Amino acid sequence: MAEPLRLRATMPRRFFRKALIPALALAISLAIPMQAFGADQHFVTIGTGGVTGVYYPSGGATCKIVNRSRAEHGVRCSVETTFGSIDNIEKIRQGEIDFGYVQSDWQSHAYHGTSVFEPAGPFEDLRAVFSLHTEVATIVVREDSEFRTFADLKHARINVGAKGSGSAASWRTLISRLGWTEADQTGLSDLRTSELAEALCTGTVDAFFVLIGHPAALIEETQADCNIRLIGIDGEAVDSLLDEAPYYIAAEIPAGFYGLKQPVPSFGVVATFVTSAKMPDEIVSTMVKALSDHFDSFRLLHPALNNLKLSDMVAADMAAPLHPGALTFYRDQGLLPAPGEDTK
């Protein structure tokens, strides 16, 4: 009995050391303007996505790279898990986060005030910083299921992504092109990515839809729990998407991943990194320079990033204008032409 009594007696002191001091620090940071900590101190937050996707480790790596040299530039970076693209855009608009990873289609819709952003209107202050990998529209079903093509899923129980995710919104865009009605889609669900492997393998859902970079930890985890099959999305509906929307591109799930003998054709979007026009130029250029200086290390962070080249950061046709801090850096590095320079 002596040991439990001793532990109980010391607990209040430990509580005050571990809980009260951080609480006081938080209260102080909320009450005192940033400038009071020193003119060279800047704290930024990156909105990412679920922990099984590429956005979260990409954000973590970006912050690790930036924080490694923070004594030189004064920028300190942290990441925040979110529901994904749409959530990140809304948080940037509200000033709740500073940067975020978003799909290229929802970057375009946000900047122009279309689709789910129509009620809020155009986000004219949205600014692009760089682009990354391709995210492929992917359907995952159990190997023993009867689903062989995308058309077979018309009345299936499908998880399309959490509310606020780019995947969920992209699903609605896709099925509208197919002419599917609400009656065809009574079995949709919005589970978190961390719940999908168990839901599929136990039969809670028939399939799940994601826009994701490959190889993906989510699909590898699902494959470890049960035998699966991947279904791509192609055909006339996708062809019309590619013709009418520049932010969609033809894509495929490469052979070799998940034991695939042949690539799975589909379509996709580009992962992009965005901020607001209100973000100071020097902070944006610091973020981009840090990533550029350690680009090889960044690429090794995740297999979906392995084939990236530095030029890919500005290769995508992004709807929002490049932030001036990023634009200046890319021109200085020769990745973009100087004003008036011949681009042919």
Q: Model confidence over 41-58: pLDDT tens digits?
A: 899 999 998 887 788 888
Given this model, what pLDDT does residue 10 score?
Answer: 33
Domain that holds residue 294: 40-133+271-332
In a domain, 18, yes or no: no
Same structural domain, 154 and 259? yes
Of the candidates 235, 238, 233, 228, which has an alpha carbon nearest to the alpha carbon of residue 260? 228
Q: Answer whether residue 209 shows pLDDT above 60.
A: yes
User: Residues 173, 207: one domain?
Assistant: yes
**How many distinct structural domains can be found in the chain?**
2
Do residue 226 and residue 304 come from a single domain?
A: no
Residue 340's pLDDT is 64
Query: Per mean pLDDT, which of 19-33, 53-67, 83-97, 326-340 is the most reliable?
Result: 83-97
Buried b (16+ CB within 10 A) or exposed e, 2-22: eeeeeeeeeeeeeeeeeeeee
Residue 29 lies in a domain: no
pLDDT mean over 215-234: 93
Question: Which tens digit of pLDDT belongs to each residue from 240-299?
Answer: 778 888 888 899 999 999 999 999 999 999 999 999 999 999 999 999 999 999 999 888
CA-wise closest residue to 307 among 259, 267, 247, 256? 256
pLDDT at position 76 is 95
Work out the average pLDDT over 220-236.
Answer: 92
In the predicted model, what is the mean pLDDT of the chain? 84
Q: Between 75 and 299, whose confidence is greater?
A: 75
The residue type found at 171 is W
Q: What is the predicted pLDDT for the residue at 338?
A: 81
pTM as predicted = 0.76
Question: Which of the pair, 311 or 342, is modelled with greater confidence?
Answer: 311
Q: Within this chain, do residues 129 and 276 fall inside the same structural domain, yes or no?
A: yes
Residue 207 lies in a domain: yes
CA torsion, points 203, 206, 208, 214, in degrees to nearest 10?
Answer: 80
Among 250, 268, 286, give the residue marking a domain's end. 268
In a domain, 237, yes or no: yes
Residue ranges in 76-231 assigned as alpha helix (H): 85-94, 104-112, 166-178, 196-201, 217-225
239 and 146 share one domain: yes
Last residue of a domain, one of 239, 268, 297: 268
Which comes out higher in pLDDT, residue 322 or 182?
322
Residue 31, pLDDT above cutoff 80: no
Taking the C-alpha atoms of residue 210 and residue 218, their distance in angstroms, rounded to an integer, is: 10
**Is residue 141 domain-shared with residue 209, that is, in the same domain?**
yes
- Shared domain check, 225 and 124: no
Most confident listed range (5-9, 28-32, 131-135): 131-135
Residue 37, pLDDT > 70, answer: no
Residue that is last in its domain, among 221, 248, 268: 268
Dist. CA 220–CA 10, nearest whole Å:
45
Least confident interval from 16-25, 83-92, 129-138, 316-325: 16-25
Give CA–CA dist 273/107, Å, rounded.
9
Q: What is the CATH number of the domain that holds 280?
A: 3.40.190.10
| Residue 252 located in a structural domain | yes
pLDDT at 169 over 70: yes
With a cut of 80, say whether residue 1 has pLDDT above it.
no
CB of 48 within 8 A of CB of 292?
no
pLDDT at 27 over 70: no
Among 39, 61, 102, residue whose Cα is nearest residue 282? 39
The pLDDT of residue 57 is: 87
Q: Is residue 45 part of a domain?
A: yes
Of 25-34, 38-47, 79-88, 265-274, least confident by mean pLDDT is: 25-34
